Amino acid sequence: MPPQPQSVVSTPLDSLSYAAPSRIRAFLCPVGLVSRPRFLDFVSRLQDTAIIRLGDVTPDPRPERVMFSPQGFPDGFVVYNFVTSIDSHHAFLEDLELYRRTLAVFGLADYNNVNDLTDLRIVIGALQAQHPQALIHKVILFDCPLEQNELPSVDFICVPPKRASRITTVRTTLCDLTSALLAELPLLAKAFQAADTIASPLARDDDYDSVMLTSSAVAQSRPSPAGSTGSLPSTINKDNRLSYPLSHHTERQRMRRKGRSMKMIANMYLLAGRTFDALKEYNDALNVLKGVGDHLWHASSLEGIGICMVILAHIGVSFVIPNSVLPPVSPSSEKKELEQPQLLDLLPQMTSNILSLYNRSQNFPGESVPQITYAETILRTTNLLACTTLAGGWTSAARTAAVLSRPIPEISIPYSQFHHAKMDVMNWISAAQAVRLDGVDAVDAARILTGVAAACGKLGYSRKRGFVLRQLVLELIPRIFQARQVAQNRKSRLPWSDVDDDEYWEDSRDVYVQPQDLDSSVLAVLSDICTVYGIPVDSTGEVSTFGWQGVKTSILKTCIGLCQVMPDFVGIVRYTSMLFRFSAEDLTVDEQLTLMRNFGNAYTAARSMGVQDFEQEYWDAYLVRDIAVVESSLWAVPTLVPLDAAPSNRIDSSGPFIYSPFAKKGDEEDKKHLFVLDEPVEFKVILQNPFAFELDILTMSLVGTGTSFSSDVISLVVPPRKLYPASIYLTPTSTGVLNITGCRFQVLGCKETIFSITPAQAAVTPPVRIKNFGLDARNSSMVKIPSPAFVKHVSVEVVPALPVLRVNRISLPQSSLMLLEGERRRFVIALGNVSETVPATSVSLKFSDSTTKSLSAALQEDSRGESDRYEIEMFLHKRAALRCVTDLNGVKVPANGEAEIELEVLGKRGLTSACIEISYSHVFDSNVVLKEMYVRTLTLDINVTVNASIEVAGCDFVPFSYDMPMIRTGDGKATTTDILLKFLDQVGIPFEEMDNYCLMLLDLRNSWPSQLAVELDSRTTANDIHTVKKVIQPGHLTRLLVPIRRISDIDTSLPIPSLAPPKQFTRSDVKSMSGDGSRKSGLWSPEVERTVFWYREELLKVLDGRWTDNISETDGLRRGAVELRALRISPQMVEIIRVDDVVVNLSLAPSEYNRRSGKYHWIVEADSFLTLVTSVTSHSTADSVSGILRIQPTLRNLPDSIALDINRRILFNGILQMPVVDIKSGDTRRVETDFVVLVRGEYEFLASFEETTAGFGGKRYIGREKFVISVN
């Protein structure tokens, strides 16, 4: 028995074209072993030659078979409608519409697979038994090299292989077959003519004669859908109808029978291509049927006339339009040959008549029109009108299209004409749409609706077409469901309800639609509907802004509904994905859960059936909201350190502007993450699940561009309605820049897809500019999601392998120690290398401590004077709390090894903790000069307690003066002079040199609870150091006397320096010029402050203090430095310390009349000639000094009013003031003045030098020591 092909091969001839009833239905079935593609190839070869001109057909010579001889109308043609399935469904219509009957059955055999031709004889028998209603049963042997006469039977037809055959070979074969068929037709005609009665399609045997039926019975009398009629062999029907007893016939019925049989003959003429005869027979039948009021057959004949006229018009033969079809108002001439455009006007009118006749037939039960016939009549007319509309009128193209379903070439038609024609067609379409589908079974409903849809499509009304197709789907869903229910005998269940029990899915597999069938069938229809409503079928990373959201949701639900009843698992998966993608926000929680459950079931079912590659992309494009690097506590993140000498933010000192707003800020640079080769890095991936169901992610891995890496693959479940952080590791496998662009996911039931990082879910905004309207806008409405502007990526740099160091040991107990202020202590840290392969070859240290913060804060205060600021900067930058003792160049930590580093910590006031940053790296080739290096940093904190030790409580300076009273007390106690002399002797200062020194009184307090020995060094010359030692008891304040060499050659005009990097600032000069006490910062004017600053700096250079705790031996010997920077000096003290720029010295030229009693004390005789020698020495930093020297003699120890009256007491030779010019720096100028003292007594001489170099108001220098002359 030949196998039934499962799928329907689409016929190239439109089954709803106007002339479709003129085609002979021929059933093709494979015979023997024929592969599917071979079979389809054979079918298409036959279909290519489906139109056979009667002129080519050899007539049958037998005289009884000449009724339908092709010679009757050689211009006519037979058109085959090749089908590959039997439409047993419409068998009840075959009498009324003969074209529905399968008249020929052709078995198609592949000669290459045929072993024994005799076997095929059995096949012929089987075909005959199976299709008894067919007139001929033949087997066509394709690729058969044999000649026809070599074949065992005439039922075998031979078609040579394609190579050996000419173009006309298949046509010739078909002509032969047509000849055989036409020879068989007269037998059928005779059978009809001989039949007692010919029944209407809806007539039932028992009520055929009972005319009076209630209208409610009409509906019942219609064939029940899907089964009863279809399952009955059509022959039984026919035989039953034909075998009605003659005695029942009245005259009316006899005429009716006659009319009907004439109509049948006309049908056969039409099929046989004898159109003229058909027209004539139809007309005769029409007249008979009209007379007996057989509306159904009357209408059918009328339709036949229309078809005949169209075919004749197509052939181009002139013919006469029967009077009976002309409208009554038409001209009264007997028979008129109508112009063809008038024929076009006539045809719709005829169809209207047909429809009204059909409607009238509804009143006669058993004679009423079947819905399918009614609807197809409308659709055929619609089709005809559509063809003429598209062809621009009743052109030959339109006629060819109507008769032979040939495509119409595109032409341009005046718009208004086109539009009106289309509107006419639309009216017919509406009429077809209005056909009620209540009692119609699924197949007919589908046929009618697809017909309507096709007509809409032809006119270019794709939305209307979509609407009709949706209606079709909605019509089909309950019918298919019902059919399945009947088949499976299951309890009632609504198609929309949640079909979640496993049994349903199990059962569904039996009737599951095979995926290969879907390409051309259901899925294609659904895709088509979706496209019209703006749901892109293949949207990868794009979303359409086209369409009506609510409508889209509804359409997708409909699609899912159809797929569920089919059941089509792939379709369920596909449309559920799409629904979630496009309309998730329109779904309720329950709907989402139900859809997801069905989705999961369908997916599992499809997978278990072995369907491949049907998954869709996961629907939420914003799955990955963020990816961030997690700082590892195990692996320190390396940093990039520049190694070249110039600091990265070097300041161009050539201009006055230090601050440049365009310079790159240092903070913004180090944003890039650095990864180390072969070390795993953790990423935190924020996933979103806005849906109401749990998201089952089967695999998730990171993807990126740049260097290679290996990512972990993890699986996880994202809870519903959550932003969920997932942790995933990645290991870079080569160095370079790595961009993490997103993640690759496989969500359960979805295709593996890569998702970009989209921190913000931007609203999908359609393009602003409107360039197309309506359906044309579909393509331009695609918006990429996520929008590239919102996609971010994480950029990291992978650096070469680096070691990992740990602090193995530290020589401090619990990393803490106690220090006295100024004390230094050393400790050792041992660094261990954890890395197995990489040694640490470069180690550097960086320190910070707790004082830094407070000092930096203090530095920010505006109100400080410059010297205070310098002081703070000094402590911040120069007094480092920590120092490395070990030479770091030699420190290398081998892989898995250890190295020690010795550090020194200084007890600094305010120090509570210190931080050691150990930066280390691995330099592969030490010969290469690196510009920058990747380092890792290890931080070590130590706690420090600093206690006060020796503090500077205060200081003062006393000049050494020769003016001290030189008295020796009688009681033998040491006088001041003695003490002074003794002290000078101790510190090794010669008495004569005494005025080059001064004495510092330094008060030191011991704040430590045990005694401390203090040593204070004072450098007097380059080689001499005077050391003062003292032991200070706890809590005691002790004054130390320290000789200081007076300081000269200090340029106090230099500004106070700053140790901090330079800052751009504007200085308000107005404020500082205003002078008086308004200057907040500092007590003194800037000049004085500068002077004090520089002398203090000089002083601190020559001083050095140490203390030793030689008493308490518990923690070993403590020693440390005295913090002398606590010294505060005033301008008055500076006057004592400094050596004046210009020193004026007085002395007498030695002579017999004078003798010296002290350094500045002379005893002279009265009335003797003396010479006063004034020496002016310049210590100034200026090149030369000029000025006026003044000498002022006074009487000693007398009030000023008398003291200055010396005119009569001393005679001077010359004047007492004179210019002294151009004294080079370091030079001494001597000025000699002769004088005679007339009156005895004690005189004092004062000399002063007033500088004039700098113009008016120059500095005045006065001799430091009083020059005294005692005159005897």
Partner 1 sequence: MSFYLAIIGTRDNAVYDLEFGTYRQGGDGKPKFSADMKQLCPFIVHSSLDIVEEMQWNTNVMHLKVIDKFYNYLISSYMTAGNIKFLLLHETRADDVIRQFFVDLHDLYVKTLMSPFYSVDQPITSAVFDQRVKMLAKKYL
Nearer to partner 1, 472 or 998 (CB): 472
SS3 134: coil
Nearer to partner 1, 412 or 416 (CB): 416
Distance (Å, rounded) from C-alpha 185 to C-alpha 64?
11
Closest listed residue to residue 1122, CA positions, set 1015, 962, 1048: 1015
Positions 465 through 484 that interact with partner 1 (CB under 8 A): 466-467, 470
Give least dist CB 210 to partner 1, A.
Answer: 34
**Residue among 640, 775, 1102, 1111 that touches partner 1 (CB under 8 A):** 775
Distance (Å, rounded) from C-alpha 120 to C-alpha 26?
19
| H or E segment and range at residue 277 | helix 275-292
- Does residue 497 interact with partner 1 by CB under 8 A? no
Backbone CA torsion sign across 832, 837, 842, 845: negative
Strand 932-947 and strand 1161-1164: pairing?
A: unpaired
Nearer to partner 1, 346 or 378 (CB): 378
**Residue among 461, 582, 683, 1243 that touches partner 1 (CB under 8 A):** 461
Structure-token match 């509107």, residue found: 423
Positions 403 through 422 that interact with partner 1 (CB under 8 A): 415-416, 419, 422
The DSSP secondary-structure symbol of 1235 reads: E
Q: State the Cα torsion 127-131-135-140 to the nearest 10°.
A: -30
**Residue among 10, 193, 240, 772 that touches partner 1 (CB under 8 A):** 772
- Does residue 537 interact with partner 1 by CB under 8 A? no
Nearer to partner 1, 549 or 816 (CB): 549
Nearer to partner 1, 280 or 778 (CB): 778
Nearer to partner 1, 427 or 854 (CB): 427
CB distance 893 to 843 below 8 Å: yes
Nearer to partner 1, 775 or 1111 (CB): 775
Positions 161 through 200 that interact with partner 1 (CB under 8 A): none
- Does residue 779 interact with partner 1 by CB under 8 A? no
- Does residue 259 interact with partner 1 by CB under 8 A? no
**Residue among 304, 366, 547, 1105 that touches partner 1 (CB under 8 A):** 547
Angle at 1166 between CA 1160 and CA 1170, to 5 degrees: 55
Positions 36 through 75 that interact with partner 1 (CB under 8 A): none
- Does residue 539 interact with partner 1 by CB under 8 A? no
- Does residue 447 interact with partner 1 by CB under 8 A? no
Nearer to partner 1, 418 or 729 (CB): 418
- Does residue 958 interact with partner 1 by CB under 8 A? no
CB distance 1059 to 872 below 8 Å: no
Nearer to partner 1, 363 or 417 (CB): 417
Give least dist CB 118 to partner 1, A.
Answer: 60
Give least dist CB 937 to partner 1, A.
Answer: 52
**Residue among 10, 148, 430, 1033 that touches partner 1 (CB under 8 A):** 430
Give least dist CB 558 to partner 1, A.
Answer: 10
Structure-token match 């803490």, residue found: 816
Nearer to partner 1, 529 or 1050 (CB): 529
**Residue among 773, 972, 1022, 1116 that touches partner 1 (CB under 8 A):** 773
Positions 551 through 590 that interact with partner 1 (CB under 8 A): 551, 554
Nearer to partner 1, 286 or 532 (CB): 532
| H or E segment and range at residue 1030 | strand 1025-1032
Helix H, strand E, coil C: the string for 607-646 is HHCCCCCCCECCCCCCCEEEEEEECCCCCCCCEEEECCCC
- Does residue 494 interact with partner 1 by CB under 8 A? no
Q: What is the largest CA-CA distance in the chain?
A: 198
Nearer to partner 1, 422 or 908 (CB): 422
DSSP sequence for 1060-1100: SPP------HHHHHT-STT--SSSS-HHHHHHHHHHHHHHH
Distance (Å, rounded) from C-alpha 62 to C-alpha 340?
39
Give least dist CB 760 to partner 1, A.
Answer: 20
Distance (Å, rounded) from C-alpha 539 to C-alpha 533?
14
Give least dist CB 462 to partner 1, A.
Answer: 7
CB distance 807 to 750 below 8 Å: no
Give least dist CB 698 to partner 1, A.
Answer: 36
Give least dist CB 550 to partner 1, A.
Answer: 6
The window from 121-129, 550-558, 916-924, 1129-1137 that contacts partner 1 (CB under 8 A) reads 550-558
- Does residue 997 interact with partner 1 by CB under 8 A? no
Positions 710 through 769 that interact with partner 1 (CB under 8 A): 766, 768
Nearer to partner 1, 36 or 419 (CB): 419
Give least dist CB 442 to partner 1, A.
Answer: 19
Distance (Å, rounded) from C-alpha 1106 to C-alpha 1012?
10
Distance (Å, rounded) from C-alpha 114 to C-alpha 2?
13
Q: Which two tokens stand for residue 1251?
A: 């500088």
Q: Which two tokens stand for residue 901?
A: 């580093």
Angle at 773 between CA 769 and CA 777, to 5 degrees: 75
Side-chain-side CA neighbours of residue 153 (13 Å):
16
- Does residue 267 interact with partner 1 by CB under 8 A? no
Give least dist CB 586 to partner 1, A.
Answer: 13
The window from 543-551, 607-615, 832-840, 1038-1046 that contacts partner 1 (CB under 8 A) reads 543-551
Positions 1225 through 1264 that interact with partner 1 (CB under 8 A): none
Give least dist CB 499 to partner 1, A.
Answer: 21
Going from the C-alpha of 1188 to that of each of 731, 825, 869, 1264, 1265, the distances in angstroms are: 86, 59, 40, 17, 19
- Does residue 434 interact with partner 1 by CB under 8 A? yes
The DSSP secondary-structure symbol of 840 reads: B
- Does residue 458 interact with partner 1 by CB under 8 A? no
Nearer to partner 1, 234 or 781 (CB): 781
Distance of CA 1002 to the CA centre of its chain: 72
Amino acid symbol at 452: V
Q: Other C-beta atoms within 10 Å of 460: how many? A: 11
Provide the mask over 857-886, with x wherever binding to partner 1 is found by CB under 8 A and - wherever it is not: ------------------------------
Q: Other C-beta atoms within 10 Å of 1195: how many? A: 19
Give least dist CB 467 to partner 1, A.
Answer: 4
Nearer to partner 1, 547 or 1120 (CB): 547
- Does residue 440 interact with partner 1 by CB under 8 A? no
DSSP sequence for 322-366: -GGGS-TTS---SS----HHHHHHHHHHHHHHHHHHHHHHTTSTT
- Does residue 462 interact with partner 1 by CB under 8 A? yes
Residue 1189 buriedness (CB in 10 A; 0-12 / 13-18 / 19+): buried
Backbone angles phi, psi at 391, to 5 degrees: -85, -5
Give least dist CB 447 to partner 1, A.
Answer: 20
Nearer to partner 1, 460 or 1057 (CB): 460
Nearer to partner 1, 124 or 459 (CB): 459
Number of residues that bind partner 1 (CB under 8 A): 37
Under the rule (CB under 8 A), what is the footprint of partner 1? 415-416, 419, 422, 426, 430, 433-434, 456, 460-464, 466-467, 470, 533-534, 545-551, 554, 766, 768, 770, 772-775, 777-778, 781
